[in-house]
Structure formats: structure tokens, C-alpha cells
Structure 1
Amino acid sequence: MAGNKLKSKKVEKKSPPPPDPGVLKPDKEADVKMKELVKDERTHKVVGTILLLLSVYLLIAFTSYLFTWDEDQSLLCKACPNILFRDDVVVENALGRLGAFLSNWFFFNGFGIASYLFCYLFFIFGINAIVGRRVFRPWRNIKYILFGLIYISTTASFLAHTAEFPFGGALGDAINHWITGFIGKIGMALLIFVAGFAWVIYKFNVDFKWPEKKVKPPKEKSKIVLPQEELELNPMLQEDDPAGEGVVEEMLPAKPNKLKDNGNIHVSFPNQEDGFEDGYELVEKDQEEHHISYVPPKSSPHDSADADEELPAKELAIPPFETTPASKAKHAVPLDEELSLEINPGREEAAAAENDAVHEELTPITTSADPLDPYEPTLDLRDYKHPGIDLLAVHGSEKITQDTSELEKNKNQIIETLKNYDIHIQKISATVGPTVTLYEIVPAAGVRISKIKNLEDDIALSLAALGIRIIAPIPGKGTIGIEVPNVKKTIVSLRNLIASDKFQNSTMDLPVAIGKKIDNENFIADLAKMPHLLMAGATGQGKSVGINTLLVSLLYKKHPSQLKFILVDPKKVELSLYKLIEKHFLAKLPGEEDAIITDTKKVIHTLNALCIEMDLRYDLLKEAGTRNIREYNNKFVQRKLNPQKGHRYLPFIVLVVDEFADLIMTAGKEVEMPIARLAQLARAVGIHLIIATQRPSVNIITGTIKANFPARIAFKVSSKVDSRTILDTGGAEQLIGQGDMLISYNGELVRLQCAFVDTPEVEEIAEFIGQQRGYTDAYMLPEYVDEKDMESKEFALSERDSLFEDAARVIVQSQQGSTSLLQRRMKLGYNRAGRLMDQLEAAGIVGPSMGSKAREVHVKTEADLEEILNDLL
């Protein structure tokens, strides 16, 4: 029994009392406070101040030690470290016993004069801690400091090993003593030099360039006289010899040829059967080597706007010609002031063996089947310079200011309002944007989302804010978003978006910088993938600024040969700023003076002309066997398409309509039909639309237009109905204006603050581009003639079309009076082809219209046609 009592006492002694849940442990509470103290911004500033003080203190102590080390060293070595607490010891250091002690420890027992690097180390950490951001990169500087401590102390010890002052310190002396004993003093000196030189190369990336060779003197021209038979065989030589004299100019050096051997030189021309095509001619590149250079056919006018630009010749390297003995030089040719070569095509069999021997020596770098150099469209304006970032002004600050008190107040109001309706939440977080702050809440289990969404007006009342928007739930997240406007709004400057890496390094076809998201991320989109953009919003909410933002961002990224604008401005004042860039980026109808279209009737003609351009581009894509403009341009750049067959480099065309509602009210179906047709088909051929309106009603934005504009931007609108018309959902009526917008793109609805660009900035950019050399005129669209104007107009033969004679020959040769035939053969639009057919009827070449059948051709032979054309002159 006694043993049992003892056991029970033991058990009772070991079991601890149960913890009281209402009492918090003091150590845990202290631990939480310590974490908060470490994270506190004030703590960082205090630590930074201490580090800066330590940096200055060591700098003064080290500098004083350079002059007082001799007097203080004996005291420090005898009484160290007790010297710190002895009042009877007097030192000469400017910072007293502590300064003398630290200096002696760092210099004598440490790193020598390299100890000054510790002052720099404490300085950079102190500055970073005080400012609160990374002014200096700490880890990169630590890497340099560690290298400097070892290198400087070792070098100082090697150079001043006999001095009494510890220039290298204990570390430098130890390293120097070991390495010197290992590789000797000369090896040590070389090692120090190589290490220092390697560091300089690594730090500054020194570029070592070998001096270039001097430019050779200009070469005189001599002539190679060729027989008429060779000129007939080689049409390339005929182009260079317009007079038909059989003389082809060749670049030869003015000084005597070193390859002469008794006045003879052995020159052999390979036959075409051996792998060389027409277009190769013999030129002498220098005194020692000869090359066969390929002279490409003359390019079409579409290849380049400058007549003096020529493609560089591709060269086939040939070993230097060797002098040949008289017994072997069957075709040796004397080299006089004028070199005469006779080539007889009938002697191919006799010279076959020698030609084969020559071709065995020829090792061409490229063959005739190799492609030419890629076509570069930007060479049309090779001196064109993109606008500089300094033309854009900085509006506001790039960094968003966060008002902690405002965030805390709004958070408490939201929690309190939800509690009043018995809605509990598990978590709430805030993301501060330039215009609004997004509060994300995680509701407790069992809370319905619809219950929170119905409290939109109550939350707006409690926060006393305008434009509360609830996103329930946020797509891709298990949270509910409440967007609350900021008291202090931040202007998003277009300059910051243009200068960002995301825009500068973009590989998009048509990159547009639109604005910033709530999380302060730049929103850069590709207009070519949208592929069309519909903008709507009430008056004064930022549509015009948004259009300027899109246009300016495209001007900063694209070359005039790659992009053209068609600007429609019924207001007549919004887009007039871009008149200066007419010869660089604008497109217009033939015969029009102003490229900015303001007249409604001209808008109709321009839209129909753009439809004709679209059809012509689709014909080009069909002939090239490609599906879109990117594949077509790639083929053209690689010179796989013949410009003589109508192929050309196709620039992107962006149609911008500033006020679409006014056009619908004045023109109606005449504008809606070509717009709908372009929206349906024009994407693949590089034609994109940007349409803005302030009346997003169903009679303006019809179902046909909406179906082909998947990308839409909505600024603040007056009603929920307008928001549903433009976005198919509500929310645009709750925006706060001044560039605040919602964009529907790739199936997502994102709230952005539109980038701001002011009118003077657009004027400076347009002036900068307009002052540069441009094309002779704007990009010409196909001609369009309204059928209504043609019905009442009688054709005068004296005012006939410039293509009248060509059209007449096409009709007579084919003996088919068909308008569609003229369209196909002459690449014309329907209206111009119909006008030509009416003029041919007036001239008596074809008969009257027979409905769907082709017209009768009255002229049967080309000789009769020439007589008629001569009579009309």
C-alpha cells in the first residue's frame, strides 16, 4: 500500500496544471512585439543612422591613425585591450582610446589601408536603411569589397614590405609571404597585374579593337570588249551596254597588276552548264584576288523609294589566278590598257577539259540557288528617327502614394457595414491603384455572394464615396472585390508606359500602351490581335485622350513604311494635330488635298476605297499562297514574290473614327455597311479599326458591329443600359471619369486608368516627325467613284480615264466586254471598271449593257482599235 502511495504521489508531482486559455504567455507576447519592432520603418531609420555614424567615425579614426600610429602603437601593444578603460593612458588619435584601438586592430591586425572599404560598406547599408529602398546594390558592393580587401592588402604588402607602417596588415603580409615563397617575387608581380587587369575588364567591359586597314585609293575604270554573241547570250550585259557596242565597264586598279607574267594573264569563264547562271560578271576586288560577283536584276519601283539604292552584290570567292606557262596557256590573253576577251560559244567541247579543271578549283561560298539579301522596307526612309522619350512630359509621380489612415478607415467601414447585416468575413486585403483601391474580402462559410453584392449602395453610403463597384467573385480568385475611389488620384503618364521595358522590348505587331491596372501594372496590348477596338463613353470622360494615347504609342514603335493611318474626324479639331505627318503615316484618296477626313461624303468614299484595298490585298494573298499579312510580308521580304507581278510590301492600316454616332446619323447604312464588312474581313490583311462614340446606344452600335469588335473600352457612361450596350455587362456607369475605364479584352473585364498625353506633347511629336524627310505624298488608297454620281454624268471622250487605252486593248484581245474582266486583269475596283466600260461604249468599242451577259465587242482586230484610238486623239 505504501508503494502505491508513493507512485501516486510521483504521478501527481509530474502532471502539470492545465493551462488557462484566457491568459496569454508573456514570452509569446514579447516575441510578437519584437517582430513588429524589427519590421518597423522607424527601426530601420535608427539602424541606418547608427551605421552612417559608424562609417564617419571609422573614417576619421583611420585618417588620424595614419599620422599618429607611431606614438600610439607602443601603448596599444602593451596595454591592449585594457587601454580602453585606463584613464592614465593618453593617445594621440583624434577619436581617443576607442579610435586608436579600432584603427590599430583594423590596420595592424587586419587589412591595412584596405580597411577604408569598411567605411564604404557601413555607408551604403546606412543609406539604404534610411531611405527605405535599394539606393546601392548591397550584394554587388559586398562582392567588390571582399575582392578589394584581399587584392589591396596583398598588393600594398608586396609593394611596401620593407616599410614599418602596416600598409597590408596581417592578412596582406600572410598572403604575400605564402605566394611569394610559392611562385617567387616576379610571379607575384605578374599575378597582381593579371588580377587587377582582369577586374578592370570585368568591371568596365573594355573593348579591344585592332586598328582597321586604310582605305584603298579609288580604282580607275577600264573596259572589257565582248563580242555581240556574248551580249545576246547574256541579257544582264546588254542592260549595262545600252549602245550595243559590246563594251562592259569593269573596275580595275590604276597601278600595274601584280599577276602579270610576261604580259599575260590566264582568265577562264565558266559555262552556264557548270552551275553558273546569267548575271555573273568578272570584277577585280583587289590586286591579289578575283571574284565573280552576282548582279541582281533591277528591282521594281516597289522595292525602294530611293533610286540610288542598290543591293550589295553576293560574291563567289575564287582563288587567285596563277600565272600559266606558255605551253599551257592556250587561252592566254594580253593585259594592256584595254583588256579584250573573245569568247566563242562554239568552242565549248574543245575547252571542256580546261573548264572542268577550273571548276574543281572554284569553291563558291554561295550558289545561284541561294536567296538574295532580304528586302528591308525601312530603307525607303533610312534616315527616319523615332520620336525621343523627352518629347513626352512627366505628369504626376510614377510611384503611387498610399494614405495609411485612409486605407484603415475604409477597411473598418467595410467590416462594420457588413457586420450590421450579419455578414462576417475571414480576411480583408487592399491593393492600391492610381485611381481606385481594391479591397479583397474572403467571406465566412455560409455567406451568400449575392447578399454582399446587394449591399453596394449601403457600402457606398458608409464610405461616402462615389463609384463603388463590387466584383463578386473576382475571376480566378476565391475573393470578392470592392473597388473604392482614392481621395488622392495619381495621373498615369504615357511617358512612363512608353519607357517601360514591357513596351520597349515588345515583339507585338501593333503595340499600344493603354494604361495601368489597379495593381500598378502596365497594360500593353497588341492591336493586331484585338483585332478591332470599340470605344464609348460620355462627353468629357477621356475618349479623345485615349485615341491620342493609342496613336502616339504606335508612332513611337513603328516605321512609316510599316504603318499607315486613316483618320476620320467629324469634329474637325480633334485629329487635326496629325496633319504634319501626312507624308509619313497618313493615307488618303487620290486627288484629295487634306488627309484628315471631315466631310461625310468623303468618309463614305474612303471607307469604300478601303474595302477595295482589302479585296486587292486578298487577291495578293491568294496569288502568294498565304493566309495573313505576316506570312505574305515574310515571303516578300525573303524575295519569294515578284514585284513585277503586282506584289508589294503591305503596311498595316489603322482606321480611326473619332465620332461614329455623327456618321451614322448623317449617312446611316452607307457608313455602317463598309464598316461591318471591314470588321468582318480586314483582320487578315492588316487593316484594323478604332471606333469611338459618345452614344453607345443600340441604333449606333448595332449587333453586326458588336459581333466583330471583341475588344471594347468603356469610359464613364450615364446609364446601366449604355454600359450593357458596350460591354454586355454593367459597371461602366459606376466609373469616376477622367480616364477611368473598363476594357473587355480576351474574355476578361479589367479596370484601368488611361494614360494621359497632353495636346502640346502630341504637337511636338507630330512636328518632330514632320520635319524629317518623308515620302513624296501620302499613301494612296484605290480610287472610288460613287455610282450615283456616275448615273447622271455623260462621259466626255476628252476627259476619259488614263487607263482607257489599256482597257480597250484588253477587251479587244479577249473579245469579251465584261466589267469583271477589267477588274481581274487591271486590278481595279468595280466602280472604276464600270466607268471604263461606259467610256468604251461611248467610243463605240463595245455595245450597250445586256444585263448579266457580257457586252458585244464591235472592234475585232487590234489594227482597227489603233485607228479608233488615233481618231480620238
Structure 2
Amino acid sequence: MATKSKPKNKKPIARNKNTTGTWKVEKEEKVQLKELAKDERTWKIAGTTFLLISFFLIISFISYFFTWRQDYTQISRGSEILWDPDVKILNLLGKLGALTAHYFIYRLFGVAAILVCTFFFVVGVNLLWRRRVFSVWRNLKYVTLGMLVVSAILSYLLPNEEFRWGGGVGNMIAGWLTGSLGMIGAGAVLALIVIAYFIWQFNPAFNFPKKLKRPLAGDTGSADEEAPAIAEDAVAEKKRVEVPEMNGAKLVIDTGAEKNKYDIKLINKEPVVQAKEEEAGYERITVLKPEARKPLPAETKETPVEGDAQELELPVASKPAKPVKPVSEDDLKLEINSGPIAPAPATAAATAPAEKGKAYEPTLDLKHYKKPSPDLLESHGSERVVQDPAELENNKNQIIKTLANYDIEIQKISATVGPTVTLYEIVPAAGVRISKIKNLEDDIALSLSALGIRIIAPIPGRGTIGIEVPNARKTIVSMKTLLASDKFSNSHFSLPIALGKRIDNENFIVDLATMPHLLMAGATGQGKSVGINAILVSLLYSKHPSQLKFVLVDPKKVELSVYSQIVNHFLARLPNEEDAIITDTKKVINTLNALCIEMDNRYDLLKDAGCRNIKEYNAKFTARKLNPEKGHQFLPFIVLVVDEFADLIMTAGKEVEMPIARLAQLARAIGIHLIIATQRPSVNIITGIIKANFPARIAFKVSSKIDSRTILDAGGADQLIGKGDMLISLNGEISRLQCAFVDTPEVDKVVDFIAYQEGYPQPFLLPEYIDEKDLESGDFDLDDRDSLFEDAARLIVANQIGSTSLLQRRMKLGYNRAGRLMDQLEQAGIVGPNQGSKAREVLIKTEMELQQHLDMLG
């Protein structure tokens, strides 16, 4: 082998100045025990060691049962036999195995010592997989109590046997019980311990038949008459709610229906009214008192705004309407008031119906699953909104001066400071046209020397005109703050998502299930991917894996790949596919069509259950009112996320647009929701069919007003300042938000936290889908028929419906196999050719004719 040449400019090793002729000793690297304990390899080595110990013990114990008589004389000598080469032991694990088994079985716990092996096995599995597969403390508790009780019982039942069935500890406990309580008393205590364990573990029901009382003649119908009267009074109280006014008058609000929806059940002649009213859906009214505004000192240079918005009211002296003169800047005094501009609407929390009996709980499949903690996320800087009063005063003066130059008089001006934008609200004088102020957008931007001026004329429901001006110092909105807030943690939304903060510094948290689909657009680098991560992280923090599944489509191949680790927890994929993150266009088409099949199957389940939406269906299923043997199951929410929709449209076109439009039109009721993002919000990408079914839209900064009108049907997105600044159109209102920031390392921590926990054996599988063209091109041999061919033929003939979906539902097959069966039935002459969306014609009408036809086919 060739030797490496020495470097020419290698510096000589420095000698120690204090000692001549000796070299300086280099410092040795210290081993960090904490880092070594956190290393994944350390956990695997420890787990393997514990598993080997458990296997060693079980083999030595089992071998001891057969060889103890021959080995007893040798192993009774103790540990000295380990060093004697002349000693021969018959135990499978030699001298050490025989000594270990003798110590645990003969001296300690007898046969019950086998339970020790389970403890080492549980610890080894948890260490090797680095997750809580089994509970160590629960196993340790059962092993300790089990060894004591079982050894005592065996020693009590087999006291004088040559082999110590209960070991030394069992003999000691049984001897003490027998000496203290006698044989009968000791047996009773041991039997009581066993019975108490089974009652505690299994909780059997001891129900005796109730004795029915014969109704008296005078009491006939009393309960039937009393219940409607109580129900009518309860409904009357619910129908009329009195709210005291400020002047002493009372406002009576009708909140209930004319008749109660349910009868009142009497228990001991006391009506259970509250549960029935909550289940009937009667409204609860919460009256909020307006908070008093407390003035803050105006002498400080910087004013922090914590929690709510900051409102700066700037009074302007009113002047006569005829002569219009510019307003003097010195006449204005700055008055700072803290508190929200308008009280937040009170959201009535939906009261949960009373639990009935033993309801089905889907989260028990992963009962040890823990939701991520906000501590996994980081706080990016200070959360306080700090604004310089000098900047506010300067902006106010510039706005007033610019408007005065165009003979526009205002009566009042106020400011609301947000994380990145300050909203200045002005009240124009009488006779000033709003369009005149709207046309001065560029002039105001020039006077303020600011980028991204946006004028809202007028602000809906406020009676003012808003001018949004970017702050000189912007505040980052951390995702940790939103997820740790009470508004998110105490929300009763089905799919809560935390998007960011408003201009008034209020957390913006909405329900994806009520949107019900979301369309996102914006230029490159303006925050779309961060917005998608914010939505996904919000859902991961709020839902259990049994309640939510993601279908992730990522044509970029790198944006959503971080979520591939939680494939067995939250992701859904096609059968026989390796990657849950879909990147190939052909697989995207198959996935979208598979979602359409899943949608149709869910609607069939809702139809059979008599429900209108997924919430009612799951409530019925958890109440055990639906039979799982008939195909009913708990339905999780499915969220489809498409990171770059324009690329799919350009490569696949109608093959992608049609299933997307179909899902957007129909999938809301059965819990399938869409989130679609694109960089190019043009009319050929976001067509009219798609826009009509996406009422909720988010626009980050775009390059032109045309793109803004395409995505929002209004301008303003081209005036945003980027870096998470966005407009959201929801319920007909457009709000400006600063998107919550969550960095990629934070997402990695959240995903790793979930991935290390126990997951399902396999991901959530979507129905199989295969193109009809591929099925028609296939050539099937009747001699190589499917094993379910005759069963499928009898099912089709009995129902007289040549439908592939019928085979899927009744025979529990995938779409591929059901389609091949249908083609074989066509070639066999049992059903007719494919007729598109219609069912095939069944050519054989009776089962007798079918049997004759099958006999002819052989």
C-alpha cells in the first residue's frame, strides 16, 4: 500500500519550557456521561443486554425443573463450583445457569420466580425501541406481588414435597400464616387475596333481579302526568332568558323551541333535566361587561403593548364646513388608551352530551400517546409589541398634512399597534367622499416613506377609514405563544388551527372544519411553507392519531418530507406504496381518486346510519348504536395538503382538477378537508370551479393586483410587506394577520417526539384505485379465475346490480381485486360491458341459471 506523504509545512510540536527534553502532555478528552446516556446506541446496547438476561433466566429456570435432582448435590456447595473444572452440571446454561436458577427457585420464590424474566423483557423492549411499549412500573408491581402471593399459595398447597414449589420465601410466608391463623384461616386469607385481585382487575358485575312493585290504584298515571309538566316548565325557563340592561329594563330572549325534543326520565321522582336540555341543543347566553380603559403615562418614549391592542385616540378640532384649511399639527394632543378596540364576541362553548354507559373510545388503541408540549417550540424574541410614540406622532402628522393638502378634513384619528403593522383609523368630516381618500393611497405612502400602505375604505362595521402602515420595528409572532394560549387549549373546535395575530394583537384561531377548505397563494419566499407548517403543527398539537389523518402531496419533494417519520401515527397512503409523502404526478392522481372512493364509501356509511355529517356518525358509533359487523367504524378526519397546485395542473390538468373539485364540493360533511397552496394564482390555475368551493382563502404578498383579485376577489395582497404578512378572507370579511413563525428545527422536534411514541402497526390505508383503462386493457383467462369468482357471481345475480363498489362493500375487497372480478364476470357472460358511471347489466337473472352457467364453464 502507498504511504501518505508528510505535509511540508507541518509545525514542530511545542516543547514544555519548564522541563527540558520532555514533550508537553496533551489533554485527554473527557467522556460526557450525559451525552453518552442520551446516545441512541447506548439505549440499544442496554436494551439488548436486558433482553439477553431475560432469555438467560427463562432457559436456566426451565432447565432447572428437569435437572435439579441430579445437580442438587453440586449446586448446594455454592459459588465454589464455578472454579472447579471437575464439576459437571446438566443445566443447559452450565454452572452459572444452575446456580442462578437454584437461588431464585429453591431459596427465594419457587416456580413464581419465572415472573422475574418478564421484568427484564419489558425493560429491554422499552430501551431497545426508545419508547414506552410496556409500562415498567406496572410490570414491576405485578411481578413483586405475584411472586409473593403465588409462592405462598404453592407452599400452602404443597407443603411437604421434595421440590420446593414455593421456594424459601413461600415456605416462610405460608408457615407464618399457618402458625398464626391455622390451616383454614391461612387458606381463607390467600383465597381472599386471589378474589380481591380478580375483582380489582376485571370488576365483574353482581346484579340481582329487581323486585317490581305493583302500582297503586291512586297513583296510576301520576308519573306520566308529572313528567310533561316538569318538562314544560323547564322548556319555558329555557325559552325566556332575562338579561338586565343598564337602565334597569330587562331584555327577554327566546332561545328554545316550542316543544321539548325529548321526554323527561324520572329517577326516584326527580327529573334529569339538565342532560336532556344539553342534548337537545338549547343555547347558553353569556353577557360580557365592557372593560374600563386605563390611561397610561405618555411621557415614556417607548410604550409596550401586552395582550390586547393599543389604541391611540388623536382628537382633531372640528372646523366649519365651508372654509377648508389644513389642520395644525401642534393643536393635536396624543392620548394613549390601552384595551381592545371592540370587545371580542363571546363564543358559547358547546356543552358535551352526557356519556352513556360504556362508550367506545377510539383513543384507547394508543392509550399511552401523549400530545406534544409547547416546550418543544422556541420563543423567537420578545412577544411584547413595542412602539415609539414619536413614530406614531410623526405618522399622524404626515397623514393629516397629506389629507389637508387635498382639502380633506378629518374629525378624529386613532391608532392600533400590531406586531408588524399599525392601523390608523380616521373619521372624515361631513361631506368628504370616501373614494377621494382611497385615491390618495400612493400619496400617503410617499409622505410616510413606507412600503405596503393599504387603505380600507370603509372598515366593515366600524364607520371609519383605515390606513395600515408598516412598523419600523417588527415583532415575530411565535407559534409557541399561540399554542400555549387559553384560546387554543380551551377551544372546542373540531380542527383548531392557529394562524397568527391580528393587528389588534389578538390571537387568530379558527376551525378548519367550518372553513371547510383553504386556498393559499403567494409569491416565492413570502411564507406559504411556514403557513402550511403552522397549520400542520396546530393540528398535531390538538388531535390524537385516531382522530386525524393527513394526505400530503409535495411536488417539490422537500417541503413536507419532515413529516414522513409519523407515517404510522398521522399519515394516510395508498396500499402497496412505500412513501406516504406523494411526489409523483401519477400517484397524485391515484390518491385523489382513492379519496373520492373513500368519500363515496363514507357517504354510504352515513346513509345506512341515518346521519348527515361525520360528527353525528361518530357520536352514534361511540355510543355503540352502530354495528361494526356491518362495516361501521370510527371515521377520522382526513386533511389533504397540496403544497404546489400549479405544478400539478400544468402536468396533469383535468385529471387533477376534476377530483379536487369533486372533493371540494362534497367532502365537507364526511370529514375530508383540503388545503391547497400555489405560487401562481392565475385564472387558468385557480379556476372558477375551484374558487367557488374554497370560501376561505389566504393571500401572502403577490406581485400584481390581478393576482390579488384572483385569490381574494379584492385588492390589497400586492401591498403586503412579506415575511408572513397575509390577508385572510373568511366569512366574507378580509383580515390582515401576521402569520405565526415555526422553524424547521422546531417541526423536527415535534415530529421526533411523536415518532418515538408507540404508533399503529401500519399507516391508515386509502381504498385501492386503478384506472378503468388499465382494467379494460387486461386479458384474463377463465381457467385462472379468482378464488372468489363464484361468490362474486352469486352476489351480483342475487342483487341484480353489476357494480364494483357492491363487491367492495359486501366482500370487503380492494378496488383492484373487485375490478378484476368484474372483468372476469364480463368475460364469463354474467354481466354486460362497462357503461361508465352506470352499473353493468346483469345478464343472468336467477341463481339456477347461474349454477347451470357455472357448470358449463367448468
TM-score of the superposition, structure 1-length normalised?
A: 0.57
Structure 2 vs 1, CA of residues 784 and 801 (structure 1 numbering), >3 Å: closer, same or farther? farther
Aligned partner of 1:316 in structure 2 is 207
CA 1:218/1:622 → structure 2, altered by over 3 Å: closer, same or farther?
Answer: farther
CA shift for structure 1 position 826: 3.8
TM-superposed deviation, 1:476: 1.0
Which of 824, 841, 854 is 1:854 aligned to? 841
Distance in 2 separating the partners of 1:520 and 1:850: 59
Distance in 2 (alpha carbons) for counterparts of 1:803 and 1:311:
42
Q: Equivalent residues in 2 for 1:577-616 (5 A)? A: 577-616=562-601
Report deviation, 1:857.
4.0
**Whole-angstrom CA distance in 2 between matches of 1:698 and 1:802:** 51
1:763 alignment partner in structure 2: 748
Question: Equivalent of 2:654, from 669, 674, 686?
Answer: 669
Matches of 1:633 and 1:380, distance apart in 2: 16
In 1: Cα distance, 2:579 partner to 2:191 partner = 64
Kept after mapping to 2: 8 A contact 1:616/1:827: no
Partner of 1:407: 392
> Partner residue of 1:723?
708
Deviations 1:389-448 (A, max 9, x none): 111111121101111111111111111111111111111111111111001111112211
Amino acid paired to 1:770: A
Q: Which amino acid aligns with 1:389?
A: P
Going from structure 1 to structure 2, the CA distance change for 1:547 and 1:817 (only over 3 Å counts) comes to closer
In structure 2, distance between residues paired with 1:541 and 1:475: 27
Q: Deviations over 1:129-167 (max 9, x none)?
A: xxxxxxxxxxxxxxxxxxxxxxxxxxxxxxxxxxxxxxx
Question: Given the superposition, is the C-alpha separation of residues 254 and 472 from structure 1 closer, same or farther in structure 2, using an over 3 Å criterion?
Answer: farther
The structure with more radius of gyration: 1
Aligned to 2:630: 645
8 Å CA contact 1:813, 1:862 repeated in 2: no
Paired AA for residue 500 in structure 2: G
**Residue aligning to 1:527:** 512
2:760 pairs with 1:780? no
C-alpha distance 600-442 of structure 1, shift in aligned 2 (>3 A): same
Corresponding letter in the other structure for 2:358: D
- Whole-Å Cα distance in 2 between the matches of residues 798 and 686 of structure 1? 44
Judge conservation of contact 2:768–2:815 (CA < 8 Å) in 1: no
Q: 2:498 maps to which residue?
A: 513
Backbone CA RMSD of aligned residues:
3.4
Distance 1:544 1:833, change over 3 A: same
Cα distance change of structure 1 residues 801 and 763 upon mapping to structure 2, 3 Å threshold: farther
Deviation string for 1:441-486 (max 9, x for gaps)? Answer: 1111221111111110000000011110001111111211100011
The verdict on how the C-alpha distance between 1:511 and 1:820 changes in structure 2, with shifts beyond 3 A counting, is: closer
What is the CA-CA distance between 1:657 and the residue it aligns to?
0.3
Output aligned runs, 1:259-278, within 5 Å: none
The structure-2 alpha-carbon separation of the partners of 1:428 and 1:763, relative to structure 1 and needing over 3 Å to count, comes to same
CA distance in 2, matches of 1:502, 1:799: 62
- Match 2:820 to one of 821, 835, 856: 835
Match 1:419 to one of 377, 387, 404? 404
Letter in 1 for 2:639: V
Question: 2:796 touches 2:842 (CA, 8 Å); kept in 1?
Answer: no
Three-state SS of the structure 2 residue aligned to 1:429 is strand
For residue 343 of structure 1, what is the aligned residue in structure 2? none
SS of residue paired to 1:854? coil
Counterpart contact for 2:501–2:737, Cα < 8 Å: yes
Matches within 5 A, 1:96-107: none
Distance in 1 separating the partners of 2:527 and 2:736 = 14
1:583 to partner: Cα distance: 0.2
Letter in 2 for 1:654: V
What displacement does 1:813 show? 4.9
Letter in 1 for 2:409: H
SS in 2 for 1:447: coil
| Equivalent in 559, 567, 573 of residue 544 of structure 2 | 559
Relative distance call for 1:803 and 1:762 in structure 2 (3 A) is farther
Following superposition, the deviation at residue 841 of structure 1 comes to 3.9
Equivalent residue for 1:568, pick from 553, 562, 583: 553
Q: Where do 1:439-450 residues align within 5 Å?
A: 439-450=424-435
What amino acid does structure 1 have at the position aligned with 2:772? E
Give yes or no for contact 1:465–1:484 (8 Å, CA) kept in 2: yes
How far apart are 1:764 and its partner, in Å?
A: 1.2
Q: Tell me, in whole angstroms, the C-alpha distance in 1 between the residues paired with 2:801 and 2:681.
A: 50
- Secondary structure of the 2:387 match is coil
Partner of residue 71, structure 2:
none
Aligned residues of 1:532 and 1:689 also touching (Cα < 8 A)? yes
Separation in structure 1 between the aligned mates of residue 541 and residue 521 of structure 2, nearest angstrom? 25
Q: Distance in 2 between matches of 1:507 and 1:766?
A: 24
Q: Is the 8 A contact 2:832 2:841 kept in 1?
A: no
SS at match of 2:830: coil
1:707-751 CA deviation, whole Å, 9 max, x = no partner?
A: 111100000011111111110110101001110000011221100
Whether the 8 Å contact between 2:453 and 2:469 is mirrored in structure 1 is yes
- Alpha carbons of 1:472 and 1:255: their partners in 2 closer, same or farther (altered >3 Å)? same
Given residue 647 of structure 1, which amino acid in structure 2 is its aligned partner? H
Q: How much identity, in percent, do the aligned residues show?
A: 71
Separation in 1, partners of 2:386, 2:368: 43
Equivalence for 1:739: 724
Equivalent pair of 1:786/1:831 in contact (CA under 8 Å)? no
CA shift digits 1:685-722 (9 cap, x unpaired): 00000000011111111111111111000000111111
CA–CA distance in structure 1, aligned partners of residues 529 and 190 of structure 2: 72
Q: Which amino acid aligns with 1:472?
A: A
Contact 2:844 2:850 in 1 (8 A): no
| Contact 2:517-2:675 at 8 Å conserved across structures | yes
Q: Partners in 2 of 1:475 and 1:764 — Cα distance?
A: 41
What letter is aligned with 1:683? Answer: R
SS at structure 1 position matched to 2:568: helix
Find the counterpart in structure 2 of residue 811 from structure 1: 796
Paired with 2:455 and 2:709, the residues of 1 have a C-alpha distance of 16
| CA shift in 2, pair 1:681/1:463, >3 Å | same
2:468 is the counterpart of 1:468: no
Distance 1:419 1:808, change over 3 A: same
Structure 1 gaps of 5+ residues are 1-213, 222-252, 261-283, 294-309, 320-369
1:628 aligned partner: 613
Give the conservation status (yes or no) of the 8 Å contact 1:414–1:459: yes
Change (3 A) 1:565 1:796: farther
**Equivalent-residue separation in structure 2 for 1:850 and 1:561 (angstroms):** 38
Q: Corresponding residue for 1:392?
A: 377
Post-superposition offset of 1:855: 3.5
Shift of 1:811: 3.3
Structure 2 residue identity aligned to 1:684:
A
Contact 1:817 1:857 in 2 (8 A): no
Q: How far apart, CA to CA, are the structure 2 residues paired with 1:562 and 1:849?
A: 41
| Aligned counterparts of 1:312 and 1:684: Cα–Cα separation in 2 | 40
Q: Which residue of 2 aligns with 1:482?
A: 467
**Displacement after TM superposition at 1:820 (Å):** 6.0
